[in-house]
């Protein structure tokens, strides 16, 4: 098979399975910070399979992608457990990433505005990270993935009212925190 066929088939599978994969991975992850990495590893593996086996190899796209995701989740957490033996997880953590300001115009904002926004964002991030895994998953699926409340309820096996309660109560608490 030629590469254009592989690329178009990959894009087709990605588009048709993305929401289901994100919902599945989010529901199964122990830590919301791992979701993006596992999702990326899942689709990288899918691409490798398509290159190796051809564009027509996969018949049941959703089942295939979810099986890869399940394997990647298990592999990720078993590797994390092995790493804890050798390296303190505190040494691995931390943001440490530099902010890329190259896309901003010099006069578009002041450093005070930027610093104030960063402080508020960090406060909000810490607040949500201190919440239970269920709340973190609801926030991730709602804000980062863009799932609706019924979709979140289905993927996390919760009632819609439970999802709304977790989302709206946390938003209210967050608003009160940020008003201070």
Start-end of H helices in the chain: 3-28, 35-53, 61-86, 89-92, 111-129, 133-139, 149-155, 160-179
Q: DSSP characters for 78-124? A: HHHHHHHHHS-HHHH-S--PPP--TTS-GGG--HHHHHHHHHHHHHH
pLDDT per position as a tens digit, 29-85: 888 888 888 999 999 999 999 998 888 888 889 989 999 998 888 887 776 565 454
Say which residue, 4 or 161, is predicted with more confidence.
161
pLDDT at 180: 63
Task: State the pTM of this model.
Answer: 0.55
CB atoms within 10 A of CB 97: 6
Domains and CATH numbers, the chain: 3-90 (1.10.1740), 95-179 (1.10.10.10)
| 8 A C-beta contact, residue 127 and residue 120 | no
The tens digit of pLDDT for each residue in 107-123 reads: 444 444 445 556 667 77
Residue 86 is predicted with a pLDDT of: 40
């Amino acid at each position: 098979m030629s590469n254009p066929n592989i690329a178009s088939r990959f894009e087709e599978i990605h588009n048709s399975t993305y929401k289901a994969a994100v919902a599945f991975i989010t529901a199964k992850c122990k830590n919301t910070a791992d979701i993006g990495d596992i999702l990326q590893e899942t689709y990288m593996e899918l691409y490798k399979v398509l290159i190796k086996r051809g564009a027509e190899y996969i018949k049941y796209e959703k089942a295939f992608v979810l099986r890869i995701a399940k394997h990647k989740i298990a592999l990720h957490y078993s590797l994390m457990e092995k790493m804890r033996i050798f390296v303190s997880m505190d040494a691995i953590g931390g943001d440490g990433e530099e902010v890329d300001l190259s896309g901003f115009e010099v006069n578009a904002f002041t450093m005070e505005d930027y610093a104030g926004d960063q402080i508020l964002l960090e406060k909000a991030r810490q607040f949500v990270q201190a919440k239970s895994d269920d709340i973190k998953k609801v926030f991730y699926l709602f804000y980062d993935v863009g799932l609706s409340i019924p979709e979140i309820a289905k993927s996390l096996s919760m009632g819609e009212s439970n999802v709304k309660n977790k989302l709206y109560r946390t938003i209210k608490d967050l608003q009160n925190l940020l008003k201070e």
